Copies of this chain bind each other. A is one copy, B any other.
Amino acid sequence: MGRRKIEMKRIEDKSSRQVTFSKRRSGLIKKARELSILCDVDVAVLVFSNRGRLYEFVNSSSSSSLSQILKRYQDSTAADGKASIAAVETESSPSSCAEVQTCGELVKSVERYLEGPELENLRLEDFMRLERQLADALVQTRTRKEKLLKQENEQLKDEVANLIGIPKSRNHKDLGVNNLMEVDADRQYSQPLRTLPLLR
């Protein structure tokens, strides 16, 4: 991608190696950011210069602090075997009305289970189903919360528009979803199921 093709081996000239390092490093991180945004996945890039300096990219979509990514990595490698995980659609849109009702009922049932004495009788398949159910419950809760957020957002936009006199201002894309050289240590793992009561 330059004036001419270069061999894929260590660049001996120190100066051009440094230049190339700088260029390609930022290129790599840019690519990582794009991948995480376009495909909505978690990406981590760590680069250590031979002078010991660290350059990193971790998409900070909150569910992905580096510590969690590392944890996921450890889990992945721990369960070696390379057994393929079946494809499961997890990004389905909010449930239909009928499903919502069912979901609400199921959640109550699940909650009873969780507060009851034994779980050992359930089979793996049952757990699978329970899990799915909880996921749907989560969707509902979030949908409600998000709806409120959007409403407020629209109100605020209108308010601003009225105050300024500018009809519409798009492009808030520059809000910066990504972190560079920074790791947020979120507390993600705390109380598993407090979501559920919200559905009642």
Contacts and interface: CB of A to CB of B under 8 A. Distances in A.
Interface of A: 6, 8-11, 14, 17-18, 20-21, 24-25, 27-28, 31-32, 34-35, 37-54, 56, 61-64, 66-73, 75-79, 81-83, 85-91, 95-100, 102-103, 105-107, 109-153, 155-157, 159-160, 163-164, 172-173, 175-177, 180-181, 183, 185-196, 198-199
B61 A38 contact: no
B41 A48 contact: yes
**A32, A47, A159, A173 interface centre (most CB from chain B within 10 Å):** A47
Nearest to A27: B31
A61 B138 CA distance: 12
A129 B100 contact: no
A168 to B, nearest CB: 13
Given A9-B173, A35-B25, A42-B48, A105 B109 contact: yes
B42 A47 contact: yes
Contacts of A194: 114, 183, 188, 192-193
15 contacts: A6-B38, A10-B38, A43-B45, A62-B186, A63-B143, A77-B183, A85-B129, A85-B133, A90-B133, A98-B117, A102-B112, A116-B128, A132-B134, A145-B146, A149-B181
